[in-house]
Amino acid sequence: MISQIFILSSKGDHLIYKDFRGEAGKDAVTAFYEKVTALTGDQPPVVMSHKELHFVHIRQGGLYWVVTTTADSSPFTLVEFLNRLTTLIKDYCGSLSEKSVRMNFALIYELLDEVVDNGYIQTTSTDILKNFIQTEAVTSKPFSLFDLSNVGLFGAETQQSKVAPSAAATRPIMSSRGDQGGKSEIFVDVVERMSVVIGSNGVLMKVDVEGEIRVKCYMPSCLEMRIGLNEEFSIGKSQLRGYGAAVRVDECSFHQAVKLDEFDQHRILKVCPSQGEHVVMQYLLSDELPSAPPFRLFPTIERDNGGRLLMYLKLRCDLPPKSSAINVSVTVPVPKGSLSLSQELSSPDQKAELRPETRAVHWDIPRFPGGAQLSALFKLEVPGLSSASMMEVGPVGLSFELPKYTCTGLQIRFLRLTPVQPGSSQRWVRYVTHSDSYTIRI
Amino acid sequence: MPYLGGEETVKELRRALSNPHVQGDPLRHRSTVLRVIRVMSQGVDVAGLFSEMVKACATTDVVQKKLVYVFLCSYASLNPELSLLVINTLRKDCQDPNPMVRSLALRNMTNLRLPSLVEYVQQPLTAGLRDRAACVRRVAVLGWAKLHSLQPHADIDAAVVNELYSMLRDNDPVVMVNCLRALEEILKEEGGVAVNKAIAHHLLNRLKECDVWGQCEVLGVLQRYRPHSEEELFDILSLLDPCLLSPSVPVMAATLGLFLSLCCRGLPAVSLAALRRAQGPLLAACGSASPEMKFTALCHVQLLLRSLPGLMGEHYKRFFCGYAEPAYIKQRKMQVLVELVNDDNVGFVLDELKGYCTDVSPDTAQAAISAIGRIGRSYSDQCLEILTGLLGLKQEHITSVVVQTMRDLVWVCPQCSESVCEALEGCEDTLQDSQGRQALLWLLGVHGDRVSSAPYVLEAFVEQVRSEMAAGVKTELLTATMRVFLCRPAETQDTLGRLLHYCIEEEADMNVRDQALLYYRLLHCGIEETRSVLQGRRSDPSLGVLIGRPAEPVSQWARSFNTLEPLRQCNAGAESAPQAAPYHLALDPEPSLDLSDPLNPSQDRQETGEMAALHRGVAWDQHRAHEHQDGPAADVPGPSRPVKVDHLLVPVADQ
């Protein structure tokens, strides 16, 4: 049971406040903000209580999403509901930020009114909600050169028109402006998050890949969509693997609405997508990867005669040559009290700096093609460097994004809509792998 | 939030709202209303616009209507009389051919929360229950619950209750679930909906039609149902079995909760099997992308482990921390890791934990070191090696936590004391904070015979006692010096004399002074007497190892499963930890162990885990409070000593 819902900005401004049961006053908002800002780093913030009130909150898009409730409510339900609410608002407003919430407050009040009544969750399905929601979303489109790049020069069809602009999937699902906003498009994203630990000897200690297939649908009416996965897709450890392009995952679960009658034979998922974003399938692969892990590090760390710390890092990207990693950021923890950093990097677009607040050297590489090898030499001035301080160097953390690449090798063979949509419908498939946590021990 | 120029804005909005040109133009009218709501959610008091907004309600524009209702529901309680004017519009809307308008009117009529309007609302609500459109029925059903909460003592019509019961058979699943919710509220005093066999089976059959939220609600209500025979029970369980593996975490949790409530008393084996079955989805939730969901799942994994220790032993790698995870998740994961340690994985787990010890966040580093200490209770050699290695880093916060961890470890595992004593050499220079120094002093005092440099370390401490701020460190120093004096009198006598002199003559803190006086008088009574008081037990192995702990029965915690409790308990522990720090600072818990141990050895030794240290601090504090009531002379904690103290007082009073 939900007593109130409110959304606060990170500075504590009230953006949205709705009271469903009249049990608690508006001062709960202030009480919540005081509590949440008084927490120290190690205290778990998710559930807090103030007198009789219990707050459950999540943070998304830099905002606090809070419900007040009674002690016997299910935390799983409330957290899941808040997460769902954020996706819903993202679907309707286009994006999730303080600005978009401020601009669309009328729409959000309307949504909340339909989603929750008397503190009970009524529905969160866009199919039902679209009959009730009348307010139109307000979006702000900043002028961007990237958008222009997609316009064919003097009307010429360029290569680029085969690629959807990255902002294409961040618009509201409902729009009455027929030609421009109401394009009937469908986006299917395969998103994988990998968490990896590589030992100091280069052995893979732990690897987990959590993946999901997300469908974001802008089509007002779509009867059925068939998503074809790799034919050699197998689930579970026991099955024998053939040669070549077999794709294996350990566990796999599907959205309620997915029909699986053709899955066993042909690896086809059948869905009737409703408007908005939905996770159609989730899967997990643990303890092994079909290919080499994307990055290997060869570090050499020593003290020189002047008491300086020398770190020579060689980083190799083991992706296939056609793929590349972007926004690679390498974090190397260094001994406490490190004063200054001198660096030798192999190209000018890379950057490295010593950040005392995180006690680490951050090395940023905007683009890292597969098969390449980069190296960097860091010299650190550390007063009182002892041999024991070397223990403080490492483990190295990497964060990166691998566009157009999936670690499991999962691919979408085809995407068919029935009945066949009139010409204007567009289907997009995107693949991306994120590093959830990629740790290399030294 | 103060909003400057609020009054001006309100005036201007009023002018706009009453402007006939604005009222005539739907778009302008709507945008003016929109501005009112925007100003309202910024925190400006716009109650003065109530009558204008009531007028704006009479419109055909649904968007504007909705906006006005948001306003009216916030301010109706301030203007009960004016709200009567709205009722007419609302009642008219209830007749509208558009079901959306009908449901909207009905919902807001009940949301005004005005007892004076109840008589006008009942008729449309009754009609709403029989409306053709499901969305109106959904609203009407909950409307009765709202009416009931407005007038909790008024009897609700039995006919309505009957109607609600019969509407459990409504075609629309949301109406059905809403009926359950409304009945639960209306019949709260009678214990909620009467779940008989017919209702229970009806609900179970229709479970599939409901969405995720409805399923959770139904499963929650079913917890009250008691099947009549074992056969029926197993039918229900096998029907619900697929839900245990549901991809939706809330449904899985609600199902597991139902399983536990149905069979935790009669059939413990079945509930354990259900837990084992649900571990897969729960593990998946632990890897969810949302940190809040991760945390919720981790707290529930800890609950499960109470009854099935070592359940997820082979999945320990799933609990390794990601380097960008928030600190509270990391700490929770480490707590789980400690529980999962077994002979096969201990090496890997320790390797991983070792990596966290140098984390940039001191909280995380501290949690990792204490986790290693906890594992050390079962695998002391490997853990001590790591802890000793960490001392080599010579970092204040790490050394402090390591020494504290070693102190706790030695108390439980006496076999470690040898290597701990070796490791202690030389770490006194790095320790800065009072807790770490107290731990070191305790170790020196208790194992002074084995640490060769103990008297000299103590001497250095005594030399700086004048600049020492923390009273806890001084009391600990007194006790430690006394103990070392008992085993190595020749080396310590001079130091002890100087310390006692300083504490009795110059010390300003009463507690320290009293304790010094007590020791002084104790020495007067003879060395054997002193020994019997000061040399208590050095360890308590009965606190036990981690592995092989008996499993708790599921019924111990089944009630708190899937409530906020497991998440809050952790919260309470973490919240009181910083508060407990001043106790440690002001009064060290350790002397209480040794002074009170021979007297009442089983006092608070029963607690295990990290909380024990905390409790020790609190218990000691209570003793202190007690003493202050008794008068400042009673130095020994615990009520069983006053006679002896009085006896001791005599010779000193003469001096």
Q: How far apart are CA B71 and CA B414, in angstroms?
A: 69
From A41, A386, A395, residue closest to B327, measured CB to CB:
A41
Between β-strands A63-69 and A2-9, what pairing exists: parallel, antiparallel or unpaired? antiparallel
Percent of all residues in chain A with a pLDDT value above 90, rounded to a whole number? 31
Structure tokens that stand for B474 in this block: 């001084």
Q: Is it the case that residue B608 has pLDDT exceeding 50?
A: no
Q: Is it the case that residue B274 has pLDDT exceeding 50?
A: yes
Q: How far apart are CA B157 and CA B391, in angstroms?
A: 74
Q: Is it the case that residue B583 has pLDDT exceeding 70?
A: no
Instruction: Give exposure, B549-585, as e/b (b: 16+ Cβ within 10 Å).
Output: eeeeebeebbebbbbbbbbbebbeebbebeebeebbb
A33 vs A161, residue with greater confidence: A33
| Residue of B355, B341, B424, B425 lying closest to B386 (CA atoms) | B355
List chain B residues with CB under 8 Å of A284: 284, 287
A324: amino acid identity, one letter: S
List chain B residues with CB under 8 Å of A329: none
- DSSP reduced 3-state for B536: coil
Q: Is it the case that residue A145 has pLDDT exceeding 50?
A: no
User: Which of the residue ranges A338-342, A377-381, B40-44 would you say has the lowest mean pLDDT?
Assistant: B40-44
Cβ distance of A439 and B247 shorter than 8 Å: no
Q: What is the pLDDT of residues B466-501, one digit of tens each?
A: 888 888 999 999 999 999 999 888 889 999 999 999
User: What pLDDT, on the 0 to 100 scale, is given for residue B591?
Assistant: 39
Question: What phi-psi label fits residue A359: left (phi over 0), alpha (psi between -120 and 50 degrees) or beta?
Answer: left
Of chain B residues 441-460, which have a CB less than 8 A from chain A?
Answer: none
Average pLDDT for residues A337-346, to the nearest whole number? 86
User: What pLDDT, on the 0 to 100 scale, is given for residue B53?
Assistant: 86
Mean pLDDT of chain B: 81
User: What pLDDT, on the 0 to 100 scale, is given for residue A51?
Assistant: 80
Q: How far apart are CA B134 and CA B170, in angstroms?
A: 9
User: What pLDDT, on the 0 to 100 scale, is given for residue B621?
Assistant: 38
Q: What is the pLDDT of residues A70-123, one digit of tens each?
A: 888 999 999 999 999 999 998 888 888 898 998 888 899 999 999 999 999 999
Best mutation target, A6, A42, A99, A332, to test chain B (most B CBs within 10 A): A42
User: What pLDDT, on the 0 to 100 scale, is given for residue B545?
Assistant: 56
User: What pLDDT, on the 0 to 100 scale, is given for residue B580?
Assistant: 31
Query: Are the beta carbons of B321 and B350 closer than 8 angstroms?
Result: no
User: What pLDDT, on the 0 to 100 scale, is given for residue B203?
Assistant: 93
User: What pLDDT, on the 0 to 100 scale, is given for residue A168?
Assistant: 61
User: What pLDDT, on the 0 to 100 scale, is given for residue B641?
Assistant: 34
The HSE-up count of residue B44 (CA atoms within 13 Å, CB side) is 20
User: What pLDDT, on the 0 to 100 scale, is given for residue B549?
Assistant: 65
Nearest CA in chain B to A133: B63
Q: Is it the case that residue A176 has pLDDT exceeding 70?
A: no
B610 vs A191, residue with greater confidence: A191
Of chain B residues 453-492, which have a CB less than 8 A from chain A?
Answer: none
A221 vs B520, residue with greater confidence: B520
**pLDDT band at residue B136 under the 50/70/90 scheme:** very high
Q: How many residues does chain A have?
A: 442
A194: amino acid identity, one letter: M
User: What pLDDT, on the 0 to 100 scale, is given for residue B336?
Assistant: 92
Per-residue CA distances from B627 to A106, A134, B520, B620, B622 (Å)? 63, 70, 19, 11, 9
Nearest-neighbour CA in chain B from A290: distance (Å): 19
Q: Is it the case that residue B607 has pLDDT exceeding 60?
A: no
Mean pLDDT of chain A: 83
One-letter-per-residue 3-state SS of chain A: CEEEEEEEECCCCEEEEEECCCCCCCHHHHHHHHHHHHCCCCCCCCEEEECCEEEEEEEECCEEEEEEECCCCCHHHHHHHHHHHHHHHHHHHCCCCHHHHHHCHHHHHHHHHHHEECCEECCCCHHHHCCCCCCCCCCCCCCCHHHHHCCCHHHCCCHHHHCCCHHHHCCCCCCCCHHHHCCCEEEEEEEEEEEEEECCCCCEEEEEEEEEEEEEECCCCCCEEEEEECCCEEECCCCCCCCCCCEEECEEEECCCCECCCHHHHCEEEECCCCEEEEEEEEEEECCCCCCCCEEEEEEEEECCCCEEEEEEEEEECCCCCCEEEEEEEEEECCCCCCEEEEEECCCCCEEEEECCCCEEEEEEEEEECCCEEEEEEEEECCCCCCHHHHHCCCEEEEEEEECCCCCCCCEEEEEEECCCCCCCEEEEEEEEEEEEEEECC
Which of B109-118, B468-477, B545-554 is modeled with the greatest confidence?
Answer: B468-477
Percent of all residues in chain B with a pLDDT value above 90, rounded to a whole number? 30
User: What pLDDT, on the 0 to 100 scale, is given for residue B415?
Assistant: 84
DSSP-derived letter for residue B538 is S
Structure tokens that stand for B26 in this block: 């739907």
Query: Are the beta carbons of A139 and A99 closer than 8 angstroms?
Result: no
Nearest CA in chain B to A396: B323
User: What pLDDT, on the 0 to 100 scale, is given for residue B57?
Assistant: 83
Partnered with residue A234 across adjacent β-strands are: A248
Partnered with residue A415 across adjacent β-strands are: A227
User: What pLDDT, on the 0 to 100 scale, is given for residue A167?
Assistant: 57
DSSP-derived letter for residue B130 is T
- DSSP reduced 3-state for B448: coil
Of chain B residues 560-599, which have a CB less than 8 A from chain A?
Answer: 562-568, 570-571, 574-575, 578
Nearest CA in chain A to B108: A113
Angle at B496 between CA B495 and CA B500, to 5 degrees: 120
- Would you call B629 exposed, middle or buried from its count of C-beta atoms within 10 A (0-12, 13-18, 19+)? exposed
List chain B residues with CB under 8 Å of A46: 292, 295-296, 567
Q: What is the pLDDT of residues B316-363, one digit of tens each?
A: 988 999 888 888 999 999 999 998 988 889 999 998 998 888 888 888
| Sign of the Cα pseudo-torsion (A194, A197, A203, A206, in order) | negative
| Residue of B144, B58, B129, B122 lying closest to B93 (CA atoms) | B58
User: What pLDDT, on the 0 to 100 scale, is given for residue B647?
Assistant: 35
Angle at B441 between CA B436 and CA B447, to 5 degrees: 125
| Residue that is written with structure tokens 């002379």 in the block | B633
**pLDDT band at residue B430 under the 50/70/90 scheme:** confident
B289 vs A245, residue with greater confidence: B289
User: What pLDDT, on the 0 to 100 scale, is given for residue A163?
Assistant: 54
- DSSP reduced 3-state for B325: coil
DSSP per-residue string spanning B568-607? HHHHHHHHHHHHHHHHHHHS-SHHHHHHHTTTSTTSS---
Query: Element (H or E) spanning B52, and its range?
Result: helix B50-56
- Which contacts (CB < 8 Å, 24+ apart) does range B74-79 have? B74/B40, B75/B46, B75/B47, B75/B50, B76/B112, B76/B113, B76/B114, B77/B113, B77/B114, B78/B47, B78/B50, B79/B47, B79/B50
Average pLDDT for residues A120-137, to the nearest whole number? 84
- Say if A121 is an interface residue toward chain B (CB within 8 Å): yes
Could you tell me where the DSSP H helices lie in B264-378? 268-286, 291-307, 327-340, 346-356, 362-376
Cis peptide before B553 (omega within 30 of 0): no
Best mutation target, B174, B251, B292, to test chain A (most A CBs within 10 A): B292
B586 vs B483, residue with greater confidence: B483
A124: amino acid identity, one letter: T
Angle at B333 between CA B246 and CA B384, to 5 degrees: 145
Query: Are the beta carbons of A346 and A376 closer than 8 angstroms?
Result: yes
Of chain A residues 5-34, which have a CB less than 8 A from chain B?
Answer: 13-17, 21-22
Q: How far apart are CA B646 and CA A113, in angstroms?
A: 73
Cβ distance of B248 and A14 shorter than 8 Å: no
Q: Is it the case that residue B625 has pLDDT exceeding 60?
A: no
Best mutation target, A57, A120, A334, A362, to test chain B (most B CBs within 10 A): A120
Average pLDDT for residues A135-146, to the nearest whole number? 62
Nearest-neighbour CA in chain A from B316: distance (Å): 10
List chain B residues with CB under 8 Å of A22: 113
Q: How far apart are CA B262 and CA B259, in angstroms?
A: 5
Average pLDDT for residues A113-137, to the nearest whole number? 87
Q: How far apart are CA B497 and CA B520, in angstroms?
A: 9
